Structure 1
């Protein structure tokens, strides 16, 4: 006959972790089945064994990571994001593809909406990936940003509410938007089309008695054409995601030069308020070196939060979800929640 020695606290922790979708408590793995030969084992011995096991697990890399993440989650639960004094229009842009622009747009929007903020995502990329991730249909028969820019259709007639979260709206993109670059060339005031449409939408919401938007995120294509210029003119802030890899800073100087030109000629209120380091892999020296280099060049703009390289972040869009709703207990979701809190606390001027 055998007797299972269990620690009550470890059992409670397992139940709690199951409820919140957290990985099993590694301390629970240290429970052992011991032979019962009529020998008395004191309660003090059990306690000493449990304490030693906890200390042993906490001293492992996995244990330290779990302890750290639990502290971060506890801190987030005590944090509240206050709405900004006025709507913040934020363009998320980088001319390099694959750096996490759309993931950043989608997950920051969902994180802020989860905190009670009223958020609009403008999918300004012909690929329509942000629309997909937020569960918005964007076939060729759907009115989209194209109709707003080319036909001056009011946003109020095009915008859709996302099933991801309450108080989250999406202005979808369709493949038609790919032709907008050419069609806008001959249009009067072509650079101000999106800006004017967003102002009219804000006014329409007020007239209909709808709550004011707190955040507007504009997801841009990986180029510096008229779609991106429209996004720069419509925004007051630029958030630049930078991948923590060798080519991170390539093209950044050109992007900053273009932003300076927009500031001088079209939108003097525009500023680079935030730079977010994405796809960070702490196991490599290269990621740390890139992060240090970016912080050295842009000490005020670089956010403290870094987004890790995560399979969950990559998987979520295929289920038409953000990582925050797809796997709330993942490290990627935790990092984007922290980034949203930091963005909410940051000054629009960085």
Structure 2
């Protein structure tokens, strides 16, 4: 069964793009077919996958706005997964999409054309609530929320849950929370442990057991246009994302997803 997940958090700097790139590579390493959709105008997931955003002739912008066939824009990476790439052109799409009927459905329709080719489709969302994010939340089955275990992260999470609830009532009633992922995790920090305990209490099994640690090699990999798995397979960051990919797949084998109870 193929699955589409939006990786999102309205708060920036939480490891959203890092998770999208490295989870894609880790799922691909387990022989799954994966498409990474870069929906952030910064194009960081594109660059981090070894694809030059400055040399793109066709991007996700063309797919969303000019109805170019999705398969024409897809690029295969050395990381073993495919990318629907993005660059600064996507900034214009935020405004241009407002002119379309059923504008929230543009990405869903685009992915429907290629969905059967992949086991997993992961969407890297911009760090804000705009029409691109709404498209991602409308197109996906579930949401993966990366977050740091700090006080302000909890405030941001509350706002995101409210957004998800609105999308459930408006364009995607089956939308659910696939999981909460703790990133940049340092168990020596007392606040980290306090916030982690609160997340566990509130989200239960939806909180991934896998935590992504602070890791130098993980931070270095994007500058080389590589997932950390290709940059340093023995690093703690690579091992953590492989563990996350395995945990996700165990969940999907064990049980079918349940809609999130948000609110």
Fold shared per TM-score above 0.5: yes
Question: Are positions 1:137 and 2:137 aligned together?
Answer: no
Match of 1:122 among 9, 20, 37: 37
SS of the aligned residue for 1:298 comes to: helix
CA drift of 1:296 comes to 1.3
Distance (Å, rounded) in 1 between the aligned partners of 2:91 and 2:123: 16
SS of the aligned residue for 1:222 comes to: coil
Question: Are positions 1:320 and 2:225 aligned together?
Answer: yes
Aligned Cα RMSD in Å?
1.3
Match of 2:156 in 1: 251
Match of 1:344 in 2: 249
Contact 2:9 2:160 (C-alpha < 8 Å) held by counterparts: yes
CA drift of 1:201 comes to 2.3
Distance (Å, rounded) in 1 between the aligned partners of 2:29 and 2:156: 34
Distance (Å, rounded) in 2 between the aligned partners of 1:237 and 1:291: 21
Question: Are positions 1:149 and 2:54 aligned together?
Answer: no
SS of the aligned residue for 1:300 comes to: helix
CA deviation string 1:41-69 (max 9, x = no partner): xxxxxxxxxxxxxxxxxxxxxxxxxxxxx
SS of the aligned residue for 1:328 comes to: coil
Contiguous gaps of at least 5 residues in structure 2: none
CA drift of 1:243 comes to 0.8
Distance (Å, rounded) in 1 between the aligned partners of 2:185 and 2:142: 24
Contact 1:92 1:240 (C-alpha < 8 Å) held by counterparts: yes
Match of 2:79 in 1: 164
**Mapping 1:29-68, distance limit 5 Å:** none
Aligned residues: 255
Contiguous gaps of at least 5 residues in structure 1: 1-85, 204-211
Question: Are positions 1:231 and 2:136 aligned together?
Answer: yes
Instruction: Report which structure shows greater RCO (CA 8 Å, sep ≥6).
Output: 2
CA deviation string 1:103-159 (max 9, x = no partner): 111111100101100000000000111111111121164211110111011111100
Match of 2:10 among 95, 98, 101: 95
CA drift of 1:185 comes to 1.1
Question: Are positions 1:218 and 2:123 aligned together?
Answer: yes
Match of 2:106 in 1: 193
Match of 1:105 in 2: 20
Distance (Å, rounded) in 2 between the aligned partners of 1:346 and 1:197: 27
Question: Are positions 1:278 and 2:191 aligned together?
Answer: no
CA deviation string 1:281-338 (max 9, x = no partner): 1221111111111111111210001000111111100000111111111111111110
Q: What TM-score does the superposition give when structure 1 sets the normalisation length?
A: 0.71
Contact 2:2 2:115 (C-alpha < 8 Å) held by counterparts: no
Match of 2:90 in 1: 177
CA drift of 1:186 comes to 1.5
CA deviation string 1:240-269 (max 9, x = no partner): 001122322122112111111111111112
SS of the aligned residue for 1:217 comes to: strand
SS of the aligned residue for 2:195 comes to: helix
